[in-house]
Amino acid sequence: MVNRINIFQPDAPMSYDDRIKILKERKLEETRVKSTMKVYQDGDDYGSIPAPETYQFHCIPNHENGSWYGYDGWSKNFYKLMTEHPIYIDPVDAFTCRWMFSMIWFDEKSPDKGLNWNPNFPYDDLKPEQELYGIISGIGSDAHFGGDYRIGLSLGWGGILEKLAFYRKKHPEHAEFYDAEELVVHGVQNWISHAIEESERLARVERHPVLRENLLQMAQVNRNILNGAPKTMREACQWVCWFNMASRTYNRDGAGFQLDEVLKQYYDADMKEGRITRDEAIFYIACLLLNDPHYYQIGGTNENGDPLLSEFSYMVLEGADKLDSACNITVRVDENIDRKFLNKAVDYLFKNKNGWPRFSGDEALNRGFMRLGYPESLARQRIAVGCNWMSLPGMEYCLNDCVKINSAKVFEVAMDEMMSHKGPYSTQLLWDLYQRHMARAVEVTAEGIAFHLRYQQYNEPELMLNLISHGPIEKGLDMTCGGAMYYNLCMDGSAIATVADSFGALQQRVEEEKRIDWETLYHHLKTDFQDKGGEFVRQMLSHSARYGGGNTISDQWAVKISESYSNQVRSVSQKYPGYQFIPGWFSWSNTIVLGKQVGATPNGRHAFEPINHGANPHPGFRKDGALTAMSNSICAVQPGYGNTAPVQLELDPGMGRGEEAVQKIADYIMTLFEQGATLLNINIVNGQQILEADKDPSKYPNLVVRVTGFTAYFCSLTPEFRKLVVDRILIQG
């Protein structure tokens, strides 16, 4: 067991605020330890805790390479881990346990050893072109779609087992599926049972009356939901914690739900019966967010267009504020949003400077999704539950944020082809070649996604998310291979600014100003500007008109690039009945990896340096910050089909937290979404502080930044990742 020892005297104060403060201090202790462990670096701030050194997981391999695959392999190993999982209980917390492992992190699943894809299903025929175009294929990717937590909350674990038994009789041909799903549920129940026993044991030796009573309540809450469906807010939150922890352990799934809608019904029922106070409910929210910072949405409208904002929405923000930690709450902003609530959300952004909340644009997202042929009532149900992405809870399988095409690499291939022949050369010829290669890159990416959908069930079926989705249990089919209602598949482009700036520089410096000829420029690209005169050429190129500057040549190229890309992605859908491929512009933190695939580019970027972040301009696009110009540029390149091209904004806290500053940013948010933006991430970070933290992260253990779609403690980032954040903040701000 890995439990917190009570150091408090029986008469020590123990209010809800006291307990949150203690939990936050312990969170920082755990974060410091995790920051030295590779698996926790450069990713989300998980709610996990380090595992005890005395525990070692020994897998049950079902393949000669020592790893495990398919229904049998994943269910048996998950059941084993759930049954053995060390129990962590903090008597100060409202909820039991924390997760410690993710099965995809074990050595038996190490990508370095080539064990993360079932070798019985090779795709060697796709790899050459995937490499040629810098494609992150998504083959073998897991989770990255949203479940419908209402299914699990309404049934409970026992009800899910009954549902599995019912549909097993209807589909005896899918016995392997049902065997695996039942084993997964039994594994989770074993973990809960052990937590009940440990809570009761700790209660017998606990001296503090408040904490002793809390431990007894923990045990009873878990006993109630071991088989039955949750009936109170505390039971509902504990059920969510169990699902989140189990799903994280299974494959790191982090998609949450519409927090203010789903939990409000339990809070209302508790209030009606006098079972809860407002302060108690806020404490539960804080503990839920501490347990794991899943991606949750608040605000927006329901399928009928009715607003979802309520007093409970304010309580979600209050709970996050009291915790004051890394958080991934998104406020959905519709045209009729209560401005008082929006201002409150912005005020918390200034107050805590932790990169939350984010803001998503209801109108553009709905309008784009409807262009796929879906009704508005369905579009309204697609919510923000990931780094940059939306999902219909439990209805669609989408591989969001798992598939990337490196347009800078496509550009390089086109440039090399053009220059391999004798002239004349032109941006028009280069554009024609770029479009042809991008069309092929899109086709290759679609082929990879189709391959993944055929064979992922034999590699890593979605045994946890299947349980809270509409279709898998009813059909006996995994979400990846026919279990989902909709297959709306993400295909993100990346490096739009790198490519747009390159086209713009070529048009301006070579064609219009004739300051350099094509052959000389190409030579400097291939020598990374290292030959004589190379740095002068690089500076000339890098100071050409840039994307993000406001209707510049490069801005015009960016619009052209985005429109062409969206059309190509949508066109390939016609070849795959039942699939909808949806374009987006997002790089996640792959800016480093994708940059290392590409040599020097005509925008003055050195070989193998990072590409631009998402849909943002390259750092340093204008020295004055140019917030309006940048925002307009990103709005203009929105892909337009319900997936995002986020705006990443860095602000200095020097502008203050006062009413005027809050109002200014709230007005900016409304204007931004009126212009068609889909998602806004904001960091409020002091430039001097970030420089000092970069030199010695241990000096600022509380510093949280929004790295990309996720927030993380700065101390948990490697130097390479810190540089991305530092450059973005210092050069853009």
- At which residue do the structure tokens 């709230």 appear? 666
Q: How far apart are CA 732 and CA 528, in angstroms?
A: 25
Q: Are the C-beta atoms of 355 and 618 separated by less than 8 Å?
A: no
pLDDT in tens, 180-212: 999 999 999 999 999 999 999 999 999 999 999
Mean pLDDT value of segment 566-586: 97
Q: Does 217 have pLDDT greater than 90?
A: yes
Phi first, then psi, for residue 446 (nearest 5°) are -65, -40
Kindly state the tokens that stand for 565.
């890309």
Kindly state the tokens that stand for 575.
């070849």
- Place 46 in a pLDDT band, splitting at 50, 70 and 90: confident
pLDDT in tens, 150-181: 999 999 999 999 999 999 999 999 999 999 99
Q: Are the C-beta atoms of 298 and 328 separated by less than 8 Å?
A: no
Mean pLDDT value of segment 495-515: 98
Distance of CA 327 to the CA centre of its chain: 12
- Place 17 in a pLDDT band, splitting at 50, 70 and 90: very high
Q: How far apart are CA 534 and CA 516, in angstroms?
A: 12
Q: Is the peptide bond before 91 cis (omega within 30 degrees of 0)?
A: no
pLDDT in tens, 110-126: 887 788 999 999 999 99
- At which residue do the structure tokens 């512009």 appear? 585
Helix ranges restricted to H, 56-174: 70-84, 127-132, 149-170
What does the pLDDT read at residue 5?
61
If phi > 0 it is left, if psi is from -120 to 50 it is alpha, else beta; for residue 97 that is left
Residue 299 parent element (H or E): strand 295-299
Share of the chain above pLDDT 90, in %: 84
Q: Count CA within 13 A, CB hemisphere, residue 94.
A: 27
Residue 708, class by beta-carbon neighbours within 10 Å (0-12 exposed, 13-18 middle, 19+ buried)? buried
Q: Does 733 have pLDDT greater than 50?
A: no
Q: How far apart are CA 397 and CA 399, in angstroms?
A: 6
* Average pLDDT value for the chain: 95
Q: Does 340 have pLDDT greater than 90?
A: yes
Q: Are the C-beta atoms of 225 and 239 separated by less than 8 Å?
A: yes
Q: Does 374 have pLDDT greater than 60?
A: yes
Nearest to 601 by CA among 517, 510, 524: 524
Q: How far apart are CA 384 and CA 187, in angstroms?
A: 30
DSSP 341-380: HHHHHHHHHHHH-SS--EEEEHHHHHHHHHTTT--HHHHT
Q: Does 246 have pLDDT greater than 80?
A: yes
Distances (CA, A) of 353 to 179, 656, 706: 47, 11, 10
Task: For the beta carbon of residue 319, count every other beta carbon within 10 angstroms.
Answer: 23
- At which residue do the structure tokens 């004589």 appear? 532
Q: Does 688 have pLDDT greater than 50?
A: yes
More confident residue, 523 or 35: 523
What does the pLDDT read at residue 43?
79
Q: Which residues pair with 487 in a beta bridge?
A: 397, 579
Residue 648 parent element (H or E): strand 647-651
What does the pLDDT read at residue 728?
75
- Place 698 in a pLDDT band, splitting at 50, 70 and 90: confident
Q: Which SS3 state, helix, strand or coil, does residue 297 take?
A: strand
Counts of helices then strands in the chain (DSSP H, E): 26, 15
